[in-house]
């Protein structure tokens, strides 16, 4: 074997034949294969429909003959801190080797397909030799998810045939069970249709639209103010109070307006402005499923005092103060990149 451990980083949403081909190539060159399953601790969305545990089962079922040679670990995203993401990869690999009883000086390599700009991460670990595999002919995970969620809107049997032909048999069986038995599937189909209709409304624009939104990070006495979304996308998820900027207002004014509308917070505007601690623009290209959306977040800080009354309104069916420590552990329950925004202002990551 060329390596003691090879590292395979991906989201595997779902684990398809291309992933399986890379994994089998890796198993021919290494004693153990470490899978780092990305987008851990995220809510179910059209882009991330399955938990790390579900994706781990897909991998293990598709590579059942590999037995104990597979080491699968979760990997969290850090959209606005690449150094933290790199450190997370390094830490996960070290922990996997330690738990496996491996030698700290083990021969470690990285395997993947350096196919386009999205593969930049393969060059961020110079300490690990790169095994650059050839592109395998298969549909992308994005296309396969489209067939899964659009099955009711297109040729149903054709969609299932496309899925069957591009994922390992055990994975197809899991997708069928998910489609037929999981309540989450119907919710994701509804969200998929909402997003497609949302994008269709802008298809005749001369340029792809860029939306401007604003979010309020209000911290009071060790608590942060969150609202529960009333409608798609992200119906039922918790979020920072915020929304789209109207044509006739500035961004801070939009933030204060949305904060009042969604939480009924009665702190006077001059007091809120006086408590403004910091602000930042969050512009990851994939932060919103609705399209290119740039948000300006404002951090208001009240170190002490009794928590003001709040209640849901407008686009929020509920508002509440959440202890900061609890909010930072709410990844699967938080909308879009709001966990990353909280981490940016509140210190973790």
Tens of pLDDT, residues 276-316: 999 999 999 999 999 999 999 999 999 999 999 999 887 77
Long-range contacts from 160-169, C-beta under 8 angstroms, 24+ separation: 166/16, 166/17, 166/138, 166/139, 167/14, 167/15, 167/16, 167/17, 167/62, 168/15, 168/16, 168/17, 168/20, 168/61, 168/62
Pairwise CA distance, residues 273 & 301, whole Å: 10
Q: Is residue 200 part of a domain?
A: no
Per-residue pLDDT, 204: 87
Span 165-185, pLDDT tens digits:
999 999 999 999 999 999 999
Span 23-56, pLDDT tens digits:
999 999 999 999 999 999 999 999 999 999 999 9
Burial of 126 (0-12, 13-18, 19+ CB in 10 A): exposed
The answer on 162 and 44 residing in a single domain is yes
The answer on 252 and 129 residing in a single domain is no
User: What's the whole-number mean pLDDT along residues 69-87?
Assistant: 95
Q: Is residue 145 part of a domain?
A: yes
Q: Is residue 204 part of a domain?
A: no
The answer on 215 and 180 residing in a single domain is no
Please name the residue that has the structure tokens 């789209």: 244
The answer on 306 and 165 residing in a single domain is no
Per-residue pLDDT, 313: 82
The answer on 146 and 18 residing in a single domain is yes
pTM: 0.91
Last residue of a domain, one of 185, 200, 219: 185
The answer on 260 and 180 residing in a single domain is no
Per-residue pLDDT, 135: 64
Per-residue pLDDT, 221: 96
Per-residue pLDDT, 114: 77
The answer on 149 and 11 residing in a single domain is yes
The answer on 257 and 122 residing in a single domain is no
Structure tokens at 56: 């781990």
Q: Any alpha helices (H) in 28-168, and if so which ranges?
A: 52-62, 82-99, 141-149, 156-166
Residue 137 has pLDDT above 70, yes or no: no
User: pLDDT grade, residue 136 (50/70/90)?
Assistant: low
User: What's the whole-number mean pLDDT along residues 318-338?
Assistant: 96
Range with the lowest mean pLDDT among 51-55, 56-60, 102-106, 213-217? 102-106
Structural domain that includes position 311: 211-346
Split into its structural domains, the chain has a count of 2
The answer on 162 and 271 residing in a single domain is no
Q: Is residue 157 part of a domain?
A: yes
């Amino acid at each position: 074997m060329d390596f003691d451990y090879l590292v395979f980083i991906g989201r595997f949403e779902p684990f398809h034949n291309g992933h399986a081909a890379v994994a089998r190539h890796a198993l021919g060159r290494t004693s153990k294969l470490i899978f780092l399953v990305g987008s851990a601790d995220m809510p179910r969305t059209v882009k991330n429909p399955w938990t790390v545990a579900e994706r781990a089962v897909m991998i293990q079922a598709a590579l059942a003959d590999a037995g104990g040679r597979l080491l699968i670990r979760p990997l969290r995203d850090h959209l606005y801190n690449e150094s933290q993401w790199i450190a997370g990869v390094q830490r996960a690999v070290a922990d996997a080797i330690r738990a496996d009883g491996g030698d700290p000086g083990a021969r470690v390599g990285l395997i993947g397909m350096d196919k386009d700009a999205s593969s930049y991460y393969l060059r961020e670990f110079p300490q690990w030799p790169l095994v650059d595999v050839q592109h395998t002919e298969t549909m992308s995970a994005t296309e396969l998810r489209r067939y899964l969620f659009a099955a009711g809107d297109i040729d149903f049997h054709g969609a299932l045939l496309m899925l069957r032909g591009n994922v390992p048999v055990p994975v197809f069986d899991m997708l069928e069970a998910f489609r037929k038995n999981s309540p989450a599937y119907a919710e994701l189909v509804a969200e998929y249709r909402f997003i497609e209709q949302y994008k269709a409304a802008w298809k005749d624009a001369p340029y792809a639209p860029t939306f401007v939104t604003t979010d309020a990070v209000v911290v009071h006495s060790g608590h942060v103010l969150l609202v529960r979304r009333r409608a798609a996308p992200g119906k039922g998820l918790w979020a920072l109070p915020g929304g789209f900027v109207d044509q006739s207002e500035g961004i801070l004014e939009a933030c204060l307006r949305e904060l009042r509308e969604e939480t009924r917070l009665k702190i006077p505007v001059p007091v809120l402005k006086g408590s403004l601690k910091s602000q930042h623009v969050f512009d990851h290209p994939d932060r919103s499923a609705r399209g290119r959306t740039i948000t300006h977040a404002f951090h208001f800080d009240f170190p002490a005092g009794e928590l003001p009354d709040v209640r849901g309104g407008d686009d929020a069916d509920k508002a509440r103060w959440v202890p900061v420590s609890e909010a930072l552990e709410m990844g699967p329950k938080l909308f879009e990149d709001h966990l990353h925004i909280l981490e940016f202002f509140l210190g973790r990551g």
